[in-house]
Copies of this chain bind each other. A is one copy, B any other.
Amino acid sequence: MLKATNLHKSFGKLEVLKGIDLEVQPSEVVVLVGVSGSGKSTLLRCFNFLERINQGSIEIDGQVIDAKKQKLSQVRAEVGMVFQHFNLFPHKTVLENVIEAPIVVKKENKETAIAKGKALLEKVGLADKADVYPSKLSGGQKQRVAIARALAMEPKALLFDEPTSALDPELVGEVLAVMKQLAEEGMTMVVVTHEMKFAREVADRIIMLDEGVIIENTDPKTFFENPSNERTRQFISLVE
């Protein structure tokens, strides 16, 4: 579904990703962990072409994406992204946030978009907030709207960048619940998170990044109980 081959990415002189190989199968849930600065966000953003890669290639659905030849905006529409700080559009209501891209990008007609949008809000438990502005929502509600907004584009995969780190602890659960449901429905997901409980329960695979290199790539059980790398062990002891 998503595949990175020998991915390199530098910011100026700083090489952040040093040859990443990673394949995500359809319907797979991959959790990405690592200390701050290890390159987790950068990797996610490369999958979505929010960062240009310096070397290597990215495939979506078996097709190599060439940033020079293809319209990146079309490619991006196929892979959704949920951000740590939600990034809802503050000047639009909840429903408008959800239907904006289908109408503008996919030229969906407005009635269809509204119907689908309302269904998605229902799904994330926010049907009653459709006409409210984001500023009136709690953090957990905002993030659920952001997920609905990403789903509205019917993406092939969803990327999550620390979707719960900006939330008050008591609001984390409601967002994880929605994510878990998506996973169960077979959505392909790559999730950067520090929620080890979620990783343990929901992930098919856990990947540990360290200084731009994948140092662990295994199932949750092995990851927590029998990690191959010393740094992984250290990391687990710190966050758990």
Which chain A residues have a beta carbon within 8 Å of chain B's beta carbons? 35-36, 168-173, 194, 235, 238-239
Contact = CB atoms under 8 A, between A and B. Distances in A.
Nearest to A36: B168
**Would you call the interface of chain A mostly helix, strand, loop, or mixed?**
helix
Contact of A35 (B35, B168, B194, B239): B168
Residue of A194, A235, A238 with most partner-chain B CB within 10 A: A238
A169 B171 CA distance: 18
A239 B173 CA distance: 8
A168 B36 CA distance: 7
B170 A35 contact: yes
Nearest to A197: B240
Residue of A169, A173, A238 with most partner-chain B CB within 10 A: A169
Nearest to A34: B170
A168 B170 CA distance: 18
Contacts of A173: 238
Contact of A169 (B168, B169, B172, B239): B239
A165 to B, nearest CB: 9
A239 B171 CA distance: 9
A171 B35 CA distance: 9
A197 B194 CA distance: 16
Contact of A194 (B36, B169, B194, B238): B169
Contacts of A35: 168, 170
Contacts of A235: 170
Contacts of A36: 168, 170-171
A103 B35 CA distance: 39
A32 to B, nearest CB: 14
A112 B56 CA distance: 59
A36 B15 CA distance: 40
A232 B35 CA distance: 32
Pick the 9 closest A-B CB pairs, nearest first: A36-B168, A170-B238, A169-B194, A169-B239, A35-B170, A173-B238, A170-B239, A170-B235, A36-B170
